[in-house]
Amino acid sequence: MDEPPAVGELTPPDRTLMGPGPSDVHPRVLKAMSTPLVGHLDPSFIEIMEEVQDLLRYTFQTDNKWTIPVSGTGSAAMEAAIGNVVEPGDTMLVPTNGYFGDRMASMAERAGGDVVTVDAPWGQPLDPAAVEAAFDEHSPDVFGFVHAETSTGVLQPSVPELTDIAHANDALVIADTVTSLGGVELRVDEWDIDVAYSGPQKCLSCPPGASPLTLNDNAMDKVLNRESEARSWYLDISLLEGYWGEERAYHHTAPITNVYALREALRLVAEEGIEERWDRHLRVAGALKAGVEGMGLEMNAPEDFWLPSLNTVRVPDGVDDGAVIQHLLDEYDLEIASGLGALEGDIWRIGCMGHSARRKNVSYLLAALGNALGEQGAAVDVDAGLAAMSERF
């Protein structure tokens, strides 16, 4: 190339993010990201690391020593969890009721594990009786489940029942909490979850890049006593322990700015209070749900296992879901998402997470969605939806 590329100043659109993630980032988190860098072994950064670990323990509701942010997106934390706990020859039981159960299966297979499934339809939670039957049939070493399934809008109830079944069969439990951490009730220690991973860009309203992970002593014992090394050097928790543990030995250059961002996002959680934060998500998402139904639309997930942080709305007959999504982007700078996998084209996925879980965002979304549907001739009543939202608030 003879000439350098002519690239102008960075000017991304100013979107309102109401999709499945990322969510709107709090101004304080953006400000934290603009502060000066220090080295990843600088004594001041070591203090920041310790603060982040303490804040993560509070948010996970755990006393686990092994609680860290993994350098990477939520999928990196997911792969660190599964790729370290699952060894070649292990059997892992995974669910079939959503897109991210399928991803658990893929990662377990890549780790050398044998995958078996507990079946439930997309849009339904796991039945403890079906889990117990799967344990009786397969005797798995590891059981994975998705606490908040982003593809279906389903929140898994009865978590302690599931963990009790697993531990009665000497299996470790890995929980996907990507769309639940900081948004809906999650109690890692009380519910006896051995390993939980998450992403920062959903209910924590933090840019992706440093992703929460926690392991209890039983899980860490398995990691440290593997017969073979984890297949990923970068995500090998036995090596990461040297950096995030007491030694603070070099492993890789941490994403310093992302750790700053996560620290501030978790500080916001602590200031609000974790239970108050769960209540806010429930209250605001409840108003969103009332507004959607008041307009004449239908939710995909039944009330008993509706996920407040990720609302799935059925696409009305005759409506082009993609055209609605594009209309919202073009006319309102507003993001929602289409369905995944078995629900592609059938639902919209509407996030109500973190800094996005605010009354003004819900009002804006309902009005904009009503307009987009009206453009396609759908019979919706925006005024009734807004009135139902206001009444719920």
Whether the per-residue pLDDT at 200 is higher than 90: the answer is yes
Question: pLDDT confidence of 2, banded at 50, 70, 90?
Answer: confident
Question: pLDDT confidence of 148, banded at 50, 70, 90?
Answer: very high
Query: 384 near 295, Cβ under 8 Å?
Result: yes
**pLDDT tens per residue, range 284-333:** 999 999 999 999 999 999 999 999 999 999 999 999 999 999 999 999 99
Helix H or strand E segment including 121: none
Mean pLDDT of 173-196: 98
Token pair 């997309």: residue: 122
Mean pLDDT of 228-241: 95
Q: Quick one: what percent of the chain has pLDDT higher than 90? A: 96
d(CA 154, CA 36): 41
Mean pLDDT of 12-18: 97
The Cα angle at residue 212 between residues 46 and 305, in degrees rounded to 5 = 155
The pLDDT mean for the chain works out to 96
Q: Give Cβ neighbours of residue 312 (< 8 Å, ≥ 6 apart).
A: 123, 152, 153, 299, 300, 301, 339, 343, 347, 348, 349, 350
Q: Sort strands 142-146 and 91-95 into parallel, antiparallel or unpaired.
A: parallel
Q: Quick one: what percent of the chain has pLDDT higher than 70? A: 100
d(CA 389, CA 393): 6
Give me the numbers of helices (H) and strands (E) for the chain, helices first please.
13, 14
Whether the per-residue pLDDT at 170 is higher than 80: the answer is yes
Whether the per-residue pLDDT at 1 is higher than 90: the answer is no
Q: Give Cβ neighbours of residue 320 (< 8 Å, ≥ 6 apart).
A: 376
Quote the tokens at residue 27. 């101004």
Of the candidates 35, 63, 61, 64, the one whose C-alpha atom is nearest the C-alpha of residue 48 is 35
Quote the tokens at residue 360. 């003004």
- Under DSSP, is residue 153 helix (H, G, I), strand (E, B) or coil? coil
d(CA 363, CA 106): 39
Return the half-sphere exposure (C-beta side, CA atoms, 13 A cut-off) of residue 270: 14
Mean pLDDT of 126-139: 98
**pLDDT tens per residue, range 255-294:** 999 999 999 999 999 999 999 999 999 999 999 999 999 9
Mean pLDDT of 84-103: 96
Whether the per-residue pLDDT at 91 is higher than 70: the answer is yes
Domains of the chain by range and CATH? 27-272 (3.40.640.10), 274-392 (3.90.1150.10)
d(CA 328, CA 372): 7
Model pTM?
0.97
Helix H or strand E segment including 131: helix 128-138
Mean pLDDT of 32-56: 95
Query: 71 near 254, Cβ under 8 Å?
Result: yes
Strand order in the sheet with 347-351: 310-314, 347-351, 337-338
